[in-house]
Structure formats: C-alpha cells, structure tokens
Amino acid sequence: MSTTFDGRVALITGGSRGIGAAIARRLAEAGATVAINYRSNAGAADELVEELRAHGHRAEAFGGDVTDPARIADVVARVVEEFGALHLLASNAGIEHFAPLADITLADFENVFRTNVGGQLFAVQAAAAVMPPGSRIVLTSSVSARTAVHRHTLYAASKAAVSAMALNLAPELAEAGIAINAVAPGGTATDMAAENGADYVHPALAGVEPQQVTRSMNALGRLARPDEIADAVAFLLSQNASYITGSTLDVAGGWMR
Ligand code: NDP
C-alpha cells in the first residue's frame, strides 16, 4: 500500500478550515502540492499555507466562491498556471442548513443548491477539462443523504444529489481516465457542527444538547475528527483505490439509521 502523492497537484475547495484543512494537511504530508480554495476567510487560508510551508510543503491559497462557475474556472486556471498541472480535486466546500419546511425560501434553496450541488458540479467540470488521465476526484456528500434528521430536508437533498453526481459522472469521466467518488461523513467536529442549533433537536428531545444527539446516532458514540475524514479522502484520491469509481464511502462511525 502506497499513499504517496509526490509530484501530484491537489485542489481542495473549502480548504481553509475544518475537514478541508485536514485534507490539505493530509495530502501535503504525503507529498502533494496543495492549492487551498476558500470563500471569504483569507486569514484562515493564509495561516494554513504558512503552516504547511513551515513544514517544507508547497502550498498556495486561491480565493473564489464556488457558487460562481466562472470563479471556479478561474481558480482552476490559476492553479494550473502556478503549479503546471492539476491531478487531484477534493471538492469539499459546503454549507449547512436547518429549517422547518414552512420557513424554507427560494433564496435558501438557491443558496444551498448553488453551493453544495452547483459548486461541486462546476468544480468537477473545470477540473476535468484540464486533468490528465490518472487524475482522481472526491466529492463531499454526507450521511444526511440517506438518513432522516430533523428539519434537515434541504441540506440532505443537496447531499443526495452529490452522491448521484459521483455515480453518474463515473462512466463519463472514465473515458478520460479520471476516477470520481464521494465521501459521506457523519457528524464531524468542525465550525459547521458547532453551529448546529436547537432546530436540529426533535421536539421529543427538547433540551438535549445538539451534539449529544449526533453522538447518539453512531456506533462509536462520538463525532469524527476532521483528520479521520481526510484519511478516507486521501485513500480515494490514491492509486490504492484504483478499482473504485462512482462510489460514496460512509465515514460515519457506524451511523445507525
Ligand atoms: P466548515 O464550515 O467548517 O468549513 C467550510 C469551508 O468551506 C470553509 O473553508 C469555507 O471557506 C468553505 N466554503 C463555504 N462556502 C464556500 C463557497 N461558496 N465557496 C468557496 N468555499 C466555501 O465545514 P466542514 O469542514 O464541517 O464541512 C466540509 C464539508 O463536509 C461540507 O461539504 C459539509 O457539508 C460536509 N460535511 C460536514 C459534516 C460535519 O459534521 N462537519 C458532516 C457531513 C458532511 P471560508 O473559510 O472562506 O468561509
């Protein structure tokens, strides 16, 4: 088993914080040159770049909102210009959403789907256009795609679309020698999970702390660490996964429903 990424250039969307930052660290430690995309928090992205460079890794931050296909195409073009190629895409940028049905607006729908679905679709479109054969892509779905969580309909529907994209893009991208898979994390200790509020808790469990609900949903009884998700992404981006494409891999501590 070899998970070296020597000579490979990786783009991580939403790479400045949380799971994306853990992916950037994991790939850089294994030899990849990493391009860290972020939306607005340039400080976090620059801090991570400095950290990686201090360890001798090649890294650069690339701002760009994934909801705008032109911005994603521009990020990909800048990565290729800076590093000469693009071999690996970890399409990770995403946003959370909880709301009762009656409160969901068209603006919510557009925001969630443009980020979680369009952002990943157009990142793949731009990346696949420049990737050489042997390149690999990992999208970010969620266990929410296949489970019922209170007031989570919009987010869950967007993540189900992501798994459907991985499945349906696999044969098309295989023609170009590119593999595409998705990871489906369970609750993971990031800013996103920390922001889960009372909306998340079923009325029958009123008063129970949201992360306690998450912990009760998986066999391991705890949230994932971001590096545990990053290890699975690194596996799917590596040649050890050479016969895997079109799949969604649960990284969810034995999610129980
Ligand atoms: P965080 O909220 O901690 O970090 C989100 C990252 O995505 C940041 O780097 C942020 O950039 C970036 N981002 C958000 N919107 C955009 C955008 N429009 N364009 C470019 N970058 C953007 O999220 P997590 O690390 O928790 O989640 C990462 C992925 O994992 C998401 O797709 C999420 O849906 C998925 N996931 C997370 C789970 C969890 O429990 N945490 C569970 C299952 C799936 P900036 O810093 O500039 O804001």
| Tens digit of each residue's pLDDT (9 = 90 or more) over 60-112 | 999 999 999 999 999 999 999 999 999 999 999 999 999 999 999 999 999 99
CA distances from 183 to 10, 150, 231, 249, 250 (A): 17, 22, 11, 5, 6
pLDDT at 2: 65
Closest CA to 88 of 212, 3, 211: 3
pLDDT at 211: 80
pLDDT at 256: 77
Alpha helices per DSSP H over the chain: 18-29, 42-54, 69-83, 106-113, 119-128, 153-174, 191-194, 210-216, 226-237
pTM score, whole prediction: 0.97
* pLDDT reading at 3 higher than 80: no
* pLDDT reading at 136 higher than 70: yes
- Most ligand 1 atoms within 8 A of CB, residue of 71, 72, 113, 188 to mutate: 188
- Most ligand 1 atoms within 8 A of CB, residue of 19, 66, 196 to mutate: 19
* Contact criterion met (CB below 8 Å) for 248 and 11: no
* Contact criterion met (CB below 8 Å) for 225 and 189: yes
Phi, psi of 187 (to 5 degrees): -55, 125
Average pLDDT over residues 167-182: 98
- In angstroms, the CA 257 to CA 244 distance is 25
Higher pLDDT, 144 or 214: 144
Pocket of ligand 1 (CB under 6 A): 13-14, 16-20, 37-41, 44, 65-67, 92-95, 115, 119, 140, 142, 185, 187-188, 190-193
pLDDT tens string 191-213: 888 777 777 788 888 888 888 88
pLDDT at 257: 67
* pLDDT reading at 1 higher than 70: no
**Average predicted confidence (pLDDT) for the chain:** 95
pLDDT tens string 60-72: 999 999 999 999 9
Percent of the chain with pLDDT over 90: 86
pLDDT tens string 20-71: 999 999 999 999 999 999 999 999 999 999 999 999 999 999 999 999 999 9
pLDDT tens string 119-134: 999 999 999 999 999 9
Place of tokens 């050479």: 242
CATH number assigned to the domain covering 9-249:
3.40.50.720
* Domain assignments of the chain as residue spans, ordered by start: 9-249
pLDDT at 183: 98
